[in-house]
Amino acid sequence: MQVTAKLTELREQIQTWKSKGETVAFVPTMGNLHQGHLSLVETALKHADHVVASIYVNPLQFAAHEDLDSYPKTLEADLKALEGVGTALVFTPTTDLIYPKGPENSTKVIVPEDVIGHCGESESRPHFFIGVATVVLKLFNMVQPDVAVFGQKDYQQLAIIKNMVKDLDLPIKIIGVDTYRETNGLAMSSRNNYLTEEQRETAAAIRQTLDWLIEEVQNGLAIETAIDHAKASLVESGLKPDYLIVRHADTLDEITPEDESLVVLVAAWLGKARLIDNECFTRKVD
């Protein structure tokens, strides 16, 4: 497995592969990898001859009060794990390479507020998707992959990236992979490392609450009523909801009485950890 922080070395290797007619899949990460990240690489290997992963903690998607400085960094373990699942190359750029003029002085990708649902993460973290879209586009231009693979745990992020690729006519196939979960149903996340063992068990209430909401809505309970009860259940379990919403699964627009394909999106605080999750479901419409 090749590891490089240099753009020239990255492009030389990718050009060598492509000159032979071989394809490249890309898995961007912020490191501190868990099995969910590795499942993305495993999926990527099914869609291309070679997998490139990146490890870069992007400052542009963190607000001043967020956990940029404390975000866990485990590079040595990450590289070992990526090699173990067949990654061909790991790109570890510096911020000086990604943002030569500094993050705040760089050209940015603006995500329109009325596209892909101005809701959830967009409202709670208004800076976030500009940072995500900007760094993903820059990495796409550096790697120039045929395929890119993302986890569906970050549901709104995946939708925005798909929309960006379509809007900017990027020749990249975007693949979403199902959320990888702990045995108790908690969505795997690097921020789970902030949790104590007791808190990890408490956090299982998130998935349980989503399952309950979906079952009740499918049985005819009004969505707003189900949301209110679900929020109360999270609070009772010891979590502090940031948002819990139900939206159209494809557009993330506010739902209409005719919509059948839905997604429930949630973010909740537990100690210093902000945990997100989602589940798609369908409901019968008369």
CA distance 131 to 114: 18
Same domain, 274 and 216: yes
Q: Grade residue 259 by pLDDT with cuts at 50, 70 and 90.
A: very high
Residues 60 and 122 in one domain: yes
Mean pLDDT over all residues of the chain?
93
Residues 138 and 199 in one domain: no
Same domain, 109 and 47: yes
The mean-pLDDT minimum among 4-8, 41-45, 76-80, 192-196 falls in: 192-196
Note whether residue 82 is domain-resident.
yes
CA dihedral 42, 43, 47, 50 (to 10 degrees): -30
The answer to the question of residue 214 being in a domain is yes
Based on the fold, state whether residues 150 and 105 are members of the same structural domain.
yes
- Work out the widest C-alpha separation in the chain, in whole angstroms: 58
Q: Residue 249 in contact with residue 264, Cβ under 8 Å?
A: no
| Overall domain count for the chain | 2
Rounded Cα distance between 75 and 55, Å, is: 8
Domain with 133 in it: what CATH number? Answer: 3.40.50.620
pLDDT at 125: 66
Say if 286 falls within a structural domain: no
Which stretches of the chain are DSSP H helices?
7-19, 35-44, 75-84, 95-98, 121-124, 128-143, 155-167, 197-203, 205-218, 223-237
Q: What is the dihedral of CA 244, 32, 133, 253, to 10 degrees?
A: -20
Q: Quick one: 115 and 148 in the same domain?
A: yes
Model pTM greater than 0.85?
A: yes
Same domain, 219 and 167: no
Residues 27 and 110 in one domain: yes
The reply to whether 254 and 132 lie within a common domain is: no
Give the pLDDT confidence score for residue 116 in this predicted structure.
58
Q: Give me the amino acid identity at 6.
A: K
Say if residues 133 and 61 touch (Cβ distance below 8 Å).
Answer: no
Distances (CA, A) of 68 to 30, 72, 115, 150: 11, 9, 27, 21
In a domain, 117, yes or no: yes
Residue 283 resides in a domain: no
The answer on 213 and 102 residing in a single domain is: no
Q: Are residues 132 and 221 in the same domain?
A: no
Q: What is the pLDDT of residues 129-138, one digit of tens each?
A: 889 999 999 9
Give the residue from 151, 177, 203 where a domain finishes. 177
- For residue 182, being part of any structural domain is answered with no
Is residue 117 pLDDT above 60, yes or no?
no
Known catalytic residue at 37: yes
Residue 185 domain-assigned (yes or no): no
177, 210, 229 - which closes a domain:
177
The verdict on 159 and 214 lying in the same domain is no
Single residue among 177, 212, 228 that ends a domain in this structure: 177
Q: Which pair of structure tokens corresponds to residue 110?
A: 């603006």
User: How many residues are there in the chain?
Assistant: 286
Using CA atoms, how far residue 139 sits from 27, 175, 229, 252, in Å, is 10, 16, 42, 25
Domain of residue 97 covers 2-177
Would 39 be classed as within a structural domain?
Answer: yes
**Nearest Cα to Cα of residue 259 among 227, 225, 282:** 282
Q: What is the CATH number of the domain that holds 223?
A: 3.30.1300.10
37, 50, 65, 229: which one is catalytic? 37
Q: Which of 79-93, 104-118, 151-165 bottoms out in mean pLDDT, i.e. has the lowest?
A: 104-118
